[in-house]
Structure 1
Amino acid sequence: MDKFAAMHAFVRVVEAKGFAAAAREMGMSRSAINKLVIGLETELGVRLLQRSTRRVSPTATGTAFYQRCLGILADLEEAELALSQAQAEPVGPLRINAPMTFGTMHLGPILAEFMANYPGVQVQLTLADRFVDPLAEGFDLTVRIAKLETAPPRLVAHELTPLPRLLCAAPGYLERHGMPKTVQDLKDHSCLAYGELANRHGWILENAGEEIDINISGAMCSNNGEVLRDAAIQGLGIVLLPRFMVQASLDCDALREIALNYRPTALSLWVMYPTNRHLSTKVQLLTSFLQQRFSD
């Protein structure tokens, strides 16, 4: 049995959630995929998959083995690329994760330009606002908006550009409730928070290196910045978002910036990839491409 082929088949079955879908993606028969996975289970002496008439899902052991397989197969791919001088022209799939709003507003057009330059690359872009572990979920590269002091474990991180954040509210809201003058005034306002309802919400602001954490409350919270921006435009409260998300609304006076004695801490745009992708020509080309595009 070709163990690498079996591991690849197992990974595709887990990700496709079924043998038939995995077989279509790999251009093989369902029986051939099934034979590879059964052979792998037999050799390992464990059950990797729970099979039913409706779906296939990994067992607890299968989930742990799936994550290890991702790293092993990635290392194999990198070794092959290194031996072949990583090919003069990059080809193959490139799995990318990015935040929803930033991906639709800015990253999509840049990726289209990148693909025009490298037509052999097939980009698989997944947009999600939740934290994504590229190692566990099999992404080659992830773009994140965050405040990082050091790179997360087993990841390489490159800062692309600072992303300043602003406090904003609709003119109508400010007319009804007044313009906050200090950060303490925010406690008396409806503040639209990013995150889940069960969490304690706070905003961190700074002045000359001094940070202050303000507890906030309001009528709405969401894990999507566009939802919060639109709620602020409707007069539901004050919102704290990156400038790129609210600039158009500021330009047309749908929102107004709130300038206080303390300002929101800045975030940055980062590109991150697993350390075992450092030899990947596709990852390095896209990283350089993003650094060039966001250098301004």
Structure 2
Amino acid sequence: MFSSERLKGIDVFVCVAESGSFTAAAEKMHLTGSAISKSIARLEARLGTRLFQRTTRRLSLTDAGTSFYRTCTGVLANLEEAELSLKAEASEVRGSVRIDLPGALGRAQILPILLRLAQDHPALTPHISFSDGFVDPFKEGVDIVVRIGGADAWPDTVGQRCLARERHLFCASPAYLARQGMPLTEHDLQQHQCIAYGWVDGRINPWNFTDDQGATTRRQVAAQLVVGNGEGILMAVMAGCGIAQLPSWLVQQQLDEGTLVEVLAHRATEGMPINLAWVKSREALPKVRVLLEALVTGLTPIDDGDR
């Protein structure tokens, strides 16, 4: 038979584990440091094991504590899911939703979808942020995350779906090709102005090529222009500065409009998957569900399978 005693101290334990200290947990939970310490001590006594390794400088989970933390977060997620499902109003989309997007992809492909959705649902308040690092939506309080790659890093409390897969295409402007000619093989690139992605430390990103056997090879190209931002590279290509390799989602509109031309199409390569992630315990909320449905519908056409 279930005992409510088993729930005592779990919320404090999880908060301490995620905060990294008793003091930080006390501030978050509006309790005293002594109350936090006593709660953890009672929990460890009840379990008969140490959950934290304490030193004068840091607090860390023991192996037993790590295992217990994973179990506890799952239990709390299930409780939250049950509560939110009961509270969810099935007919109305309203309230605040936090969404984190990768910078260039978010601005080029996803933000227009979200803006249209916000107009269709005036009571919905999307909070949209842009970042390119790893985000755990469950831990960081974000409802929905889109990332290029990264699917293996999300925990079981996070739902996920592959929306599409980018392709790496070689592109140039019509004006540049009229001036310099159309490259027919990758070796012809030696006679062209190449625009590459680079970092502040001087490294230059190699280009990917599909060989005659269908395998992907990486090759450094001699770059006449190096830009450390995909949107900046797109601007340079549009200005007629040369040929660049760019993701399909960034250039598809320009290709459709004819303001860019794909070259060496037989050497284009498959890129990373574009993944959608969300907090499972909140997916039943109408405000989250409508966003998930809009992203699934809106991003699917950029999959290379539709080309």
TM-score (norm 2): 0.59
Change (3 A) 1:200 1:93: same
Partner deviation per Cα, 1:144-171 (whole Å, 9 max, x = no partner)? 33599xxx99675445566554324689
Aligned residue-pair number? 285
Counterpart amino acid of 1:181?
A: L
Q: Which residue of 2 aligns with 1:192?
A: 196
Q: Unpaired segments of 5 or more residues in structure 1?
A: none
Check whether the contact 1:182–1:262 (CA below 8 A) recurs between aligned residues.
no
Question: Distance in 1 between the 2:67 and 2:191 partners?
Answer: 48
Question: Distance in 2 between the 1:109 and 1:43 partners?
Answer: 53
Question: Distance in 2 between the 1:200 and 1:232 partners?
Answer: 17
Q: Which residue of 1 aligns with 2:277?
A: 272
Check whether the contact 1:16–1:22 (CA below 8 A) recurs between aligned residues.
yes
* 2:12 is aligned with 1:9: yes
Residues 9-158 of structure 1: pairs in structure 2 closer than 5 A = 9-26=12-29, 28-31=30-33, 32-44=35-47, 45-48=49-52, 50=54, 57-59=59-61, 61=63, 62-82=65-85, 84=86, 86-88=88-90, 96-108=99-111, 111=114, 117=121, 123=127, 127-130=130-133, 140-145=143-148, 157-158=160-161
Q: Which residue of 1 aligns with 2:246?
A: 241
Residues 151-170 of structure 1: pairs in structure 2 closer than 5 A = 157-158=160-161, 160=163, 165-168=168-171
Counterpart amino acid of 1:215?
A: R
CA RMSD of aligned residues (A): 5.4
Check whether the contact 2:51–2:62 (CA below 8 A) recurs between aligned residues.
no
Change (3 A) 1:170 1:114: closer
Measured after TM superposition, the shift of residue 64 of structure 1 is: 4.7
Q: Which residue of 2 aligns with 1:289?
A: 294
Partner deviation per Cα, 1:96-126 (whole Å, 9 max, x = no partner)? 4432322345545655776784858785x66
SS in 2 for 1:129: coil
Measured after TM superposition, the shift of residue 143 of structure 1 is: 1.5
Q: Which residue of 1 aligns with 2:305?
A: none
Percent identity reads: 31
* 2:212 is aligned with 1:214: no
Counterpart amino acid of 1:259?
A: V
Change (3 A) 1:177 1:40: farther
